[in-house]
Amino acid sequence: MSSAEAAPAVFAALGDPTRLELVRRLRGAARRSIAELGEGLGMTRQAVAKHLRVLEAAGLVAGRRQGRETRFALQPEQLAQARVWLDEIAGQWDDALDRLKTHVEDEAD
């Protein structure tokens, strides 16, 4: 999947509060199980697993079987790429606002 194709999946995955919380829980942590990640979320293991599958499809987490359970880890590369996309968008907005400012100031003269 190309970078341009990955962006919508990444931002859609991060747009859900539960998935964003799961990413936060994985930040700086070793691999964690579904049960560990779901503690205090008030949802079933199946619901947590479904959210993790969405994050995994977007390349934000990776699961690895260890014995009878799957343990998940954050994939920081994909988060770094999301930051690059956001920086590019912010730069485009800055450029557009600069052009608008110049236009308004030229019209005022």
Q: What is the pLDDT of residues 30-56, one digit of tens each?
A: 899 999 999 999 999 999 999 999 999
Checking 34-37 for CB contacts under 8 A at 24+ apart, the result is 34/69, 34/70, 34/72, 35/69, 37/72
- The tens digit of pLDDT for each residue in 80-96 reads 888 888 888 877 777 77
Domain boundaries along the sequence of the chain: 3-108
> pLDDT at position 4, please?
61
Q: Which fold has domain 3-108?
A: Arc Repressor Mutant, subunit A (1.10.10)
Of 105 and 19, the one with more pLDDT: 19
Q: Could you tell me which residues come within 8 angstroms of residue 70 by beta carbon, excluding any fewer than 6 positions away?
A: 33, 34, 63, 64
Q: What is the pTM of this model?
A: 0.76
